[in-house]
């Protein structure tokens, strides 16, 4: 059992956070940063299976200023581009929005440092939660650890409240309307690359026999790039299945032998989960990507997780209560679902839809829409820009689907 606090092994905690990933560490750091004094911090245990953190993902998001994690941003772009066939639309904000990049290792290092500084925060790595038993006085958590020299391999602790960031039992990403599957490489090029200092967020949108795909290219520096191949797939596909295609893409972009791979990253993000997870016990809530952290139409989750973490930390510090992820606005969910349904049913429509938005909507309106804060005018601009007939058909289909699933609404109660 390895912890940042080897001298301390309690049996009782005010708060247990299951999973020291993006949501778990964001919540723990938000509590540390928002607490008036270190004593105000509840006695907290974060349980994480990994032995150590690596630079496993690059988190990007749009924000006007750096936002919650401005000190962790490594690079920001003032322009970003959408392209398909020979057409491209380059966007810039009039209101100071930028596309920011936080390397995950910076985020993890920062979180580990902050948690070590606060005596009430314990990060337990090499360990996972194997069972949970709610009882009247609290919740019992069974922990299994890999390293057994000092402590038993299995032990039970008690928690007053739990924030569980694992994918809840019964939630299956295969059920999402679309799965955003991606595989990419960070590379160093031997020569300076030819790209402008622009984030190519949807480059070369196209369709093949497996559906809609595009490239994602972030020029980090004059000789370093992140290059990813991304698909919006109706059927689940493992990210590894994109490895060869992603490597081909890197060779196409950099020239056959003109690069060195620094690291790789991959994932599957659910777009349009069909079910909600309702906690049966208010002392034990779920958070993260398994309970709708990702915006359905984009898959972006990082900023939404930071917003939830801040909100939840305030709830814990001010009222002593953990706060759930708030659901999306009904209108945005409905629009997202129509969009996803249209792409699922007719992947060749996807480049048309995204390019129509990029061409017809002001960058600031589009950004407000993508970051969950559209005005009514923004929504009208979005609707106006899109091809109507296909979307009206999908809107009707979405209404019928809602009526059908409304009759058998599902929730997982534990
Ligand atoms: C490669 C990649 C790139 C991404 N890029 C972006 C981006 O640019 N912008 C954006 O907005 N979103 C992005 N996302 C989506 C999203 O932001 C991330 O997936 C984010 O990490 C989700 O946070 P989370 O806390 O839900 O999951 P995670 O960060 O995966 O955390 C869950 C944690 O639970 C732990 N765990 C699992 N089982 C147990 C157990 N039994 N006991 C204890 N702990 C357990 C895991 O080890 C993990 O640390 C990306 C995702 C990936 C995979």
The ligand 1 atom at the shortest distance from the C-alpha of residue 287 is: 26
pLDDT at 75 over 90: yes
64 Cα to the center of ligand 1, angstroms: 24
Give the mean pLDDT of 283-292.
94
The ligand 1 atom at the shortest distance from the C-alpha of residue 129 is: 42
Is the model more confident about 280 or about 364? Answer: 364
Query: pTM score, two decimals?
Result: 0.93
How far is residue 190's CA from residue 62's CA, in Å, rounded to a whole number? 30
- For 166-223, where are the E strands, in sequence order? 178-189, 199-208, 211-221
Residue 362 CB contacts under 8 Å (≥ 6 apart), including other chains: 381
SS3 347: coil
How far is residue 18's CA from residue 286's CA, in Å, rounded to a whole number? 9
pLDDT at 413: 29
Give the mean pLDDT of 219-232.
97
Residue 245 Cβ < 6 Å to ligand 1? no
pLDDT at 406: 57
Confidence of residue 4 (pLDDT cuts 50, 70, 90): confident
The ligand 1 atom at the shortest distance from the C-alpha of residue 182 is: 1
- What is the phi/psi pair of residue 310, to 5°? -65, -45
Report which protein residue has its CA nearest ligand 1's atom 30. 21
Give the tens place of pLDDT for each residue, 330-355: 889 889 998 999 999 999 999 999 99
Nearest to 135 by CA among 103, 151, 157: 157
Side by side, which strands form the sheet with 87-92?
A: 87-92, 79-84, 199-208, 211-221, 224-233, 178-189, 259-271
Give the tens place of pLDDT for each residue, 16-71: 999 999 999 999 999 999 998 888 999 999 999 999 999 999 999 999 875 667 88
How far is residue 198's CA from residue 204's CA, in Å, rounded to a whole number? 15
SS3 300: coil
pLDDT at 367 over 80: yes
pLDDT at 146: 83
Confidence of residue 394 (pLDDT cuts 50, 70, 90): low
Give the mean pLDDT of 132-143.
93
Residue 239 Cβ < 6 Å to ligand 1? no
pLDDT at 401 over 80: no
Residue 351 Cβ < 6 Å to ligand 1? no
Q: What is the pLDDT of the chain when averaged over all its residues? A: 90
SS3 152: coil
Give the tens place of pLDDT for each residue, 147-205: 655 566 889 999 999 999 999 988 999 999 999 999 999 999 999 999 999 999 999 99
DSSP 6: T
pLDDT at 11: 86
pLDDT at 92 over 70: yes
pLDDT at 410: 39
pLDDT at 412: 31
Most confident of 66-80, 103-117, 252-266, 276-290: 103-117
How far is residue 268's CA from residue 173's CA, in Å, rounded to a whole number? 8
pLDDT at 403: 66
Report which protein residue has its CA nearest ligand 1's atom 16. 301
**What do you get for the CA distance between the two ends of the chain, in Å?**
28
Confidence of residue 387 (pLDDT cuts 50, 70, 90): confident
The ligand 1 atom at the shortest distance from the C-alpha of residue 57 is: 1
pLDDT at 23: 98
pLDDT at 261: 97
Nearest to 17 by CA among 162, 154, 120: 162
Give the mean pLDDT of 135-146.
92
Report which protein residue has its CA nearest ligand 1's atom 26. 288
Give the tens place of pLDDT for each residue, 237-279: 999 999 999 999 999 999 887 899 999 999 999 999 866 777 7
Residue 129 Cβ < 6 Å to ligand 1? yes
């Amino acid at each position: 059992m390895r912890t940042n606090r080897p001298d301390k092994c309690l049996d009782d905690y005010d708060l247990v956070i299951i999973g020291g990933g993006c949501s778990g560490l964001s919540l723990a750091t938000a509590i540390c940063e928002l607490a008036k004094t270190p004593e105000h911090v509840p006695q907290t245990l974060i349980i994480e299976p990994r032995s150590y953190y690596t630079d496993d993902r690059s988190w990007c998001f749009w924000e006007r200023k750096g936002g919650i994690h401005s000190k962790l941003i490594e690079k920001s772009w003032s322009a970003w581009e959408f392209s398909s066939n020979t057409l491209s639309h380059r966007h810039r904000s009039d209101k100071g929005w930028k596309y920011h990049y936080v390397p995950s290792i910076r985020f993890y290092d920062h979180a580990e440092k902050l948690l070590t500084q606060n005596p009430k925060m314990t990060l337990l790595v090499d360990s996972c939660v194997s069972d949970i038993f709610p009882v009247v006085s609290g919740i019992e958590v069974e922990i299994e650890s890999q390293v057994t020299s000092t402590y038993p391999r299995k032990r039970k602790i008690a928690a007053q409240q739990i924030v569980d960031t694992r994918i809840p039992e019964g939630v299956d990403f295969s059920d999402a309307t679309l799965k955003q599957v991606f595989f990419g490489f960070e590379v160093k090029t031997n020569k300076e690359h030819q790209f402008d200092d622009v984030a190519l967020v949807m480059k070369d949108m196209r369709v093949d026999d497996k559906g809609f795909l595009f490239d994602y290219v972030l020029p980090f520096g004059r000789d370093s790039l992140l290059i990813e191949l991304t698909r919006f797939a109706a059927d689940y596909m493992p990210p590894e299945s994109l490895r060869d295609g992603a490597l081909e893409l890197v060779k196409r972009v950099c020239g056959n032998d003109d690069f060195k791979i620094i690291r790789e990253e991959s994932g599957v993000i659910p777009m349009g989960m069909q079910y909600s997870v309702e906690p049966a016990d208010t002392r034990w809530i779920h958070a993260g990507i398994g309970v709708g952290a990702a915006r359905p139409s984009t898959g972006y989750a990082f900023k939404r997780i930071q917003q939830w973490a801040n909100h939840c930390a305030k709830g814990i510090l001010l009222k002593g209560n953990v706060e759930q992820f708030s659901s999306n606005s009904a209108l945005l969910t409905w629009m997202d679902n129509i969009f996803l349904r249209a792409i699922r049913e007719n992947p060749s429509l996807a480049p048309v839809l995204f390019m129509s938005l990029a061409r017809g909507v002001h960058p600031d309106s589009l950004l407000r829409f993508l970051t969950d804060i559209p005005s009514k005018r923004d929504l009208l601009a979005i609707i106006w820009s899109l091809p109507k007939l296909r979307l009206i058909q999908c809107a009707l289909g979405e209404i019928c689907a809602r009526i059908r699933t409304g009759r058998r609404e599902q929730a997982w109660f534990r």
